[in-house]
Structure 1
Amino acid sequence: MDSPDPDGLLAEQLLRLTRRLQRIQSRQLEPAGITPAQFRLLRIVAQYDRAPRMADLAQRLDVVPRAVTTLVDGLEASGRVRRVPDPDSRRVVRVEITEEGTATLRSLRNGRRAAAEEILAPLTADQRDVLGGLLTALVDGMPERRC
């Protein structure tokens, strides 16, 4: 009989937790009529001081520009972002978050905190601190990502 594979078990546990997080996120995003990719784009747009160019967003998301166009189309149709001309170049389009987008983002962030609390509920404060340190070590050890 094979001996237990601790790394395999750990990987399976991480995958199960990831799927649980995705289910919770989908449950929260569905009533808002927003996809996880749109939520990510909305978060990124909100981080900029000046409305980002579509090309900036594609780079940050690590996707082709056409994918950003599709995401922006959906968010614009729902009133969460708007395209604005670049004052320095007529060929450049920028994307800015609207008040509706900011309200959606605030609501969804509150939902994420509630989801995290649901998942972390079985842990003590000390266990949460340890988990936070371990996750930081894992994230910091990953190759550099734009988002």
Structure 2
Amino acid sequence: MTTPDSDDLLAEQLLRLTRRVHRIQKRHLEQRGLGVTPAQARLLRTLAHCDTPPRMADLAQRLEVVPRAVTTLVDGLETGGKVRRVPDPTNRRVIRIELTDDGHKAVQQLWRARVSAAEEILDPLTTVERAVLSGLLDALVDGAPEQGRGPGPGRAC
């Protein structure tokens, strides 16, 4: 049985771990010299999971941000040659966002940076502890559906 104090401690531990994960991932990104922010990296990873190039509004919904934030991210990534705006083939008034070849390469580098960061974070754990943690994380992630949550990785945008 949990107590309010133990729940507070767990919440604090989760927040501290989240901040640590972000710091380590950011460092690994910087070491690879990709020239993308963590928010841009998230957009690139999201695009990589889309079956077809999404609209800006689709990206905003998927990333759970306001459309203006997506515009700013896309502007920066387009300037860096990692994405491009393309007209929708069925409605030229609609603009879609797709990865360029450099964008696909960046996604691979991002994946490697995430793996390196995960290895660093998980290094103190034994194989058994990692398996237990994996099960616990699955239970937390899959346990309660979130309102307004977009499709997960591997599903269309």
TM-score (norm 2): 0.85
**Which residue identity is paired with 1:89?**
N
Determine whether 1:17 maps to 2:17: yes
Partner of 1:26 in structure 2? 26
Partner of 2:62 in structure 1? 60
Determine whether 1:81 maps to 2:83: yes
| Offset of residue 4 of structure 1 | 9.4
Distance 1:63 1:9 in 2: 29
Pick the aligned partner of 1:100 from 80, 102, 115: 102
**Which residue identity is paired with 1:116?**
A
Structure 2: segments with no counterpart, 5+ residues? 153-157
RMSD: 1.7
Pick the aligned partner of 2:133 from 131, 134, 137: 131
| Offset of residue 63 of structure 1 | 2.0
Q: What count of residue pairs does the alignment treat as equivalent?
A: 145
SS at 1:122 equivalent: coil
Q: Deviations over 1:9-68 (max 9, x none)?
A: 222222221111111111123332211111111111111222111121122112222211
| Offset of residue 127 of structure 1 | 0.8
Partner of 2:37 in structure 1? 35
Structure 1: segments with no counterpart, 5+ residues? none
Distance 1:4 1:100 in 2: 49
SS at 1:51 equivalent: coil
Q: Which moved more, 1:50-59 or 1:102-111?
A: 50-59
Partner of 1:8 in structure 2? 8
* Identity percentage of aligned residues: 66
Q: Deviations over 1:102-133 (max 9, x none)?
A: 11110111111111111111111111010000
Q: Which moved more, 1:19-28 or 1:6-15?
A: 6-15
Partner of 2:116 in structure 1? 114
SS at 1:79 equivalent: coil
Moved over 4 A (4+): none
